Structure 1
């Protein structure tokens, strides 16, 4: 026997209120969230907010003095990309469970979220794992490695 419509509506309303409360809690948690990340060369430290915005930038140990403008810019961009990717993962982890279908009400299928549309390049910028490197950076690394300038070797940026 099927459940009366009034009971199903009451369940759906209770589920909706529960999801709304969870969303509010998640938003509150993320409102002050940030990620602080250092560039691989340890020359730059950035802080990125939950929306991917740059909220802090530090140049560490005067390493920037030995870098040319291109190297410094690359260090900043790499750290910002890693910070944005870390925050994107945190947001996805926070809201991900809220996208799941309802266990009690099969009609409530959950919400489809297009994370790529929301975070764009932040998801492909997971440079910390080495998987998000662009082909241009790999090419620069290989060109740099072919050079005889051992002093700059290991920085990975030309």
Structure 2
């Protein structure tokens, strides 16, 4: 490898790194303003989350919430929030996915290895579990979400 070839490859790598840095900055700026809004399956609530999955809005739709039991309303809020967090996580992953690929022009630039589960935690794992879980009747959903008291289990077991 001669000196000029090495200098050209280095200049190309530096230019690609600079272009990637600018693209990442644009993606971060775009996502900083992003939000996702989801309605619960029963259409009783609407939840909005920000770019880090934080709850930024909660609306009770029509008057449905007035006739719902507290546990049922809570389940609707949690379901919509989990779905919104998952949607935002997917949006962030799609935005940053190009930076995880190796460079076509500079093979030494392998792309960034991102641990999405570490970043999004339960937003992704809850969605994965929901996709794998068998569908249950809605009346059993709330009971499935509640951790039973060990003392209660011993009395009834």
Shorter-chain TM-score: which interval? 0.7 to 0.9
Contact 1:36 1:83 in 2 (8 A): yes
Structure 1 residue 80 corresponds to structure 2 residue 81: yes
**2:114 is the alignment partner of 1:113:** yes
Cα offset, 1:11, TM superposition: 0.8
**What is the rounded CA distance, in whole Å, between the counterparts of 1:18 and 1:132 in structure 2?**
39
Alignment of 1:24-103 (within 5 A): 24-103=25-104
- Conserved 8 A contact 1:124-1:132: no
TM-score by length of structure 1 reads 0.81
Q: Partner of 1:28: helix, strand, or coil?
A: helix
**Maintained 8 Å contact 1:45/1:58:** yes
Which consecutive residues of structure 1, in runs of 5 or more, have no partner in the other structure?
A: 146-155
Q: Give TM-score scaled by structure 2 length.
A: 0.81
- 2:150 is matched with none
- How many residues are treated as equivalent by the alignment? 142
Structure 2 SS opposite 1:45: strand
SS of residue matched to 1:55: strand
Q: Is the 8 A contact 1:39 1:75 kept in 2?
A: yes
> Cα offset for 1:132?
6.1
Match of 1:153 in 2: none
Q: CA deviation at 1:125?
A: 3.0
Structure richer in helix, relative to its length:
2
The question of whether the paired residues in 2 share the 8 Å contact of 1:125 and 1:132 is answered with no
Unaligned segments of structure 2, at least 5 residues:
144-157
